Amino acid sequence: FQSEFDDVLKAAGSKLVVVDFSAKWCGPCKAISPVIHDLAVRYDNVMFCSVDIDRAEDVANSCKIVAMPTFQMFKKMEKIFEITGTDIRKLETKIEELM
C-alpha cells in the first residue's frame, strides 16, 4: 500500500492532504468518522484520505503511527503536521491555517 499512498501524495501536488489513520476496531475512530466526512465535504480544496492501519501496515509503520485516530497533514509530499485524538476544533483550525 505504500506506493499507492505515495501516489496520492504526489497527485495532490501543492494541495493540503489530511490523512486519517484508523482501524475498524477503534471506537474513537468510528465516532469521529462522520465528522471527518463533513470536513472533507466543506473543504473541497483539501484532499482527505483514510488509511486502515491493519490493512496498510507498511504505511502505518513508515508514518510511525502509535495511536489512533492520528491525523497527518502533508503538502508537496512532506509531512507538515500531526495530531492524535478526537479534538476536531484543533484539527479544523490547523486545516484552515495550512491550506
| Domain locations along the chain | 2-87
Q: Which member of 16, 18, 29, 53 is catalytic?
A: 29
pLDDT of residue 67: 95
pLDDT of residue 69: 97
Residue with cell 499512498: 5
* pLDDT per residue as tens digits for the range 40-91: 999 999 999 999 999 999 999 999 999 999 999 999 999 999 999 999 999 9
User: Please, where are the H alpha helices in the chain?
Assistant: 2-12, 27-42, 57-62, 88-98
Closest to 46 measured CA to CA, from 2, 88, 98: 98
For domain 2-87, which architecture applies? 3-Layer(aba) Sandwich (3.40)
What is the distance between the alpha carbons of residues 96 and 43, in angstroms, rounded to a whole number? 9
Tell me if residue 26 is catalytic: yes
Return the SS3 of 32: helix
What is the distance between the alpha carbons of residues 99 and 96, in angstroms, rounded to a whole number? 6
pLDDT of residue 94: 97
% pLDDT > 90, the chain: 99
Tell me if residue 49 is catalytic: no
pLDDT of residue 49: 95
